[in-house]
Chains A and B, each alone.
Chain A
Amino acid sequence: MTDVTQRSPAPGLGRRIRRVFSDRPVIPLLILLAILMVVLEILRPGIVNERWIANTVKFAIPLAILAACQTVTMLTGGIDLSVGTVATLGAFVVSTQGMDAGLGWALLLSLAPALLIGIANGIGVGIFRVHPLIMTLGTSLIGVGFLQVYQRTVIATGTKVPDVLAWIGTGLTGGIPNSLIVFVPVAAFILFMLGRSGFGRLLYAVGDNERAARLSGVIYWKVILALYILSGILAWIAGLIYVGLIKAPSLSLVEPRVLPAVAAAVIGGTSIFGGRGGYLGTIVGAVILTVLATLLTVLQMPEGARQMLFGLIVLAVTAAYIRITADS
């Protein structure tokens, strides 16, 4: 900070705040989160307690993992809309095969569709250069079709959520959600990958200027293929946590959370055009959206008004964010 003041002798307070915000985009988000929690506490005194926080974290974690898929793909200028289907497929297979095939086998089996869809996305986007939006929508449609067919064949056997997943999804140990066991390594991995690894730098490079990246020897299709497979695996993990959390595998288990996941990544400061952003902001974004959902529920508005407010707030936050971080 002293550094900054030395370079420009008398910067206005506004400018200085701007600079801090654009250097550390997570700060304004944390402030927003704090404001939301204060508002919540005022509206319903006493609601912000340990149990509430644990509950919020529990719901924010799978959303944050889904949003991780969007963050990493958006860094290259892409998007992955097939995550809802991948996650649901994973959850569904695990809870139908878990009974007689054994958990390990069921997990392995449920990973297969995630990998297949990830590979298909990667090939379509990386080699055939199909627009990621279209490619992932297409594979998502195919996945939904398979899911419906599969659901019909297993309808007689019924479903059961494996106990381990239920424990991870809903359990608390000493007031701390068990799903952190999964989330902390996943988040650490993504943060490390984006910030410290060569692969992360390749993602930023491809998203920032694909031509330049190619000319400096990046093999585009390999990066993209690896990226979408990674995204599929992340979505699979999110699906497993969701099924443990909600405990009722259905065809629409994760689908309604795909667009909020995109919103979480966008609020978190990742540019949808690629090259800018990071995972820390996305995590805060996912928490903000979860708190926001509670807030809108507490206000006891009709469902319609709640959705309208949700949309408007996402838009307002994104617009404000772009203003704050753009020119400096």
Chain B
Amino acid sequence: MSSALRRQAWVIGLAILLAALFVFTRIIQPDYGADGFGSLVRAALPFVFAVAGQTVVVIAGGIDLSIASMMALTSVTAATLMDGASEPFGIVAVAAVLLLGFLLGAVNGILVVVSRVPDIVVTLAMLFVWQGAALLVRDSPGGAASEWLKELVVGNLAVPGIPTGITDWVPKALILIVVCLAVVWIPLRRSRLGLSIYAIGSSSLAAFRSGVNVSRTKIVAYAFAGLFAAMGGLVLTMSTGQGAPIPGPYLLASVAAVVLGGVALTGGKGGLLGPVIAVFVLRLVRSDLTFLAVDPNVTTIVEGAIMVVVVMLGALLAMRNRQP
């Protein structure tokens, strides 16, 4: 009970932090409004999917260092498939890329299970493999995205009957995030499989003894990370209109946001909401620093410092709670 409360407390605390940051943003930049919020969400898009994938694997007690490479590979694949293709073919391409991501993740998981090599080493090796594969698909940025896909992330939701005052605050990108994450995460979390993922992360021996197929669950967890990475890759293609074979800065950011989001790196604890809020916190800090006209390079220092301080604070709280 108390641990459940503490877990929720962390997410609630993050949400309050985010709200406070919004207020702060409004103070330093009085005309920050719907437009600013829209661009914040669009900037956060790929990070959200990267962190979602990382979260699933970390909860299962692993870690996926190849997440940014998988995003690059799926992004170039999507851009290459849609290059010069008709608009309806875009749907086929999206489906194919999502399947590809799922398979890439499954390969990671199978290798972890079969090779008996620690997760961090396997996915480190696969980082090179997927990155190399992305370079083979396309050795320079290029390709194209279907128009309707690009429309998905641009602008705000327009529903007739609702005043634009409200819809202005609902960028399409936000809807995309909520729908994609909810469609995958909620059924997963509620299913037996989701429970097994938490179980193997918390103690794979205990899970095994209670009849959980540890190997299969682990493979599935990695496969879902691949699926989220594919969504991240698609989002990259959508918002830039092309695919780039060089992985972006999503690996470090995903690990950071997972930890900030209250997911224990030892596995078995946490949810998806915390890490997603953490992504927004990190992005908003970045734009705040820009508004304050801070040297963009100093922003990196501040980001790193926030990460270190918050993580130390979390560790300290955990120690306090353990001691009495």
CB within 8 Å of B: which residues of A? 79, 120, 124, 128-131, 133-135, 137-146, 148-149, 152, 259, 262-263, 266, 272-273, 302-312, 314-315, 318-319, 322-323, 326
Contact (Cβ within 8 A) A145 B299 = yes
Q: How far is the CA of A124 from the CA of B311 in the complex (A)?
A: 9
Contact (Cβ within 8 A) B300 A308 = no
Q: How far is the CA of A131 from the CA of B295 in the complex (A)?
A: 30
Any A CB within 8 A of the CB of B134: yes
Any A CB within 8 A of the CB of B32: no
CB contact between B304 and one of A79, A141, A309, A315 (< 8 Å): that residue: A141
In this complex, the member of B127, B129, B137, B255 whose beta carbon has the largest number of chain A beta carbons within 10 angstroms is B129
Contact (Cβ within 8 A) A319 B124 = no
Chain B: minimal CB distance from A282 (Å): 14
Chain B residues touching A, majority SS: helix
Q: How far is the CA of A224 from the CA of B200 in the complex (A)?
A: 29
Contact (Cβ within 8 A) B117 A142 = no
Which residue from chain B places its CB closest to the CB of A131 in the assembled complex?
B265
Assuming A133-B255, A138-B256, A141-B301, what are 10 further A-B pairs, CB within 8 angstroms? A137-B307, A141-B303, A145-B303, A152-B295, A259-B124, A273-B118, A304-B132, A304-B139, A308-B129, A311-B127
Report chain A residues within 8 Å CB of B133. 304, 308
Chain B: minimal CB distance from A129 (Å): 5
Q: How far is the CA of A145 from the CA of B286 in the complex (A)?
A: 13
User: What are the nearest 9 A-B pairs in CB distance?
Assistant: A304-B135, A141-B304, A311-B128, A307-B132, A145-B301, A145-B300, A308-B132, A142-B304, A304-B136
Contact (Cβ within 8 A) A302 B135 = yes
CB contact between B124 and one of A140, A262, A302 (< 8 Å): that residue: A262
Contact (Cβ within 8 A) B252 A272 = no
Contact (Cβ within 8 A) B132 A311 = yes
Contact (Cβ within 8 A) B297 A319 = no
Report chain A residues within 8 Å CB of B252. 137, 141
Report chain A residues within 8 Å CB of B136. 302, 304-305, 308
Contact (Cβ within 8 A) B297 A148 = yes
Chain A: minimal CB distance from B46 (Å): 18
Chain A residues touching B, majority SS: helix
CB contact between A142 and one of B125, B132, B305 (< 8 Å): that residue: B305
Contact (Cβ within 8 A) A152 B115 = no
CB within 8 Å of A: which residues of B? 63, 111, 115-118, 120-122, 124-129, 131-137, 139, 245, 252, 255-256, 259, 265, 295, 297-305, 307-308, 311-312, 315-316, 319
Report chain A residues within 8 Å CB of B120. 79, 133, 272
Q: How far is the CA of A314 from the CA of B117 in the complex (A)?
A: 11
Contact (Cβ within 8 A) B132 A306 = yes
Chain A: minimal CB distance from B313 (Å): 9
Q: In the complex where A134-B255, A272-B118, A312-B125 touch, is A148 in contact with B312 (Cβ < 8 A)? A: no
Report chain A residues within 8 Å CB of B63. 133
Report chain A residues within 8 Å CB of B126. 311, 315
Chain A: minimal CB distance from B79 (Å): 16
Report chain B residues within 8 Å CB of A304. 131-137, 139, 245
Q: How far is the CA of A259 from the CA of B66 in the complex (A)?
A: 12
Report chain B residues within 8 Å CB of A131. 259, 265, 311
20 contacts between A and B (CB under 8 A): A120-B308, A124-B308, A128-B312, A128-B316, A129-B319, A134-B255, A142-B305, A146-B301, A149-B297, A263-B125, A302-B136, A304-B136, A304-B139, A306-B132, A307-B132, A311-B125, A312-B129, A314-B128, A318-B121, A322-B116
Contact (Cβ within 8 A) A140 B304 = yes
Report chain B residues within 8 Å CB of A130. 308, 311-312, 315
Q: How far is the CA of A137 from the CA of B256 in the complex (A)?
A: 8
Chain A: minimal CB distance from B137 (Å): 8
Contact (Cβ within 8 A) B298 A149 = yes
Q: How far is the CA of A59 from the CA of B93 in the complex (A)?
A: 43
Which residue from chain B places its CB closest to the CB of A307 in the assembled complex?
B132
Contact (Cβ within 8 A) A128 B256 = no
Contact (Cβ within 8 A) B125 A322 = no
Chain B: minimal CB distance from A137 (Å): 6
Chain A: minimal CB distance from B127 (Å): 7
CB contact between B117 and one of A128, A133, A143, A319 (< 8 Å): that residue: A319
CB contact between A141 and one of B121, B137, B259, B307 (< 8 Å): that residue: B307
Report chain A residues within 8 Å CB of B316. 128
Report chain B residues within 8 Å CB of A140. 304
Which residue from chain B places its CB closest to the CB of A318 in the assembled complex?
B117
Which residue from chain B places its CB closest to the CB of A312 in the assembled complex?
B129
Q: How far is the CA of A124 from the CA of B297 in the complex (A)?
A: 24
Chain B: minimal CB distance from A64 (Å): 18
Report chain A residues within 8 Å CB of B128. 259, 307-308, 310-311, 314
Chain A: minimal CB distance from B27 (Å): 25
Chain B: minimal CB distance from A251 (Å): 10
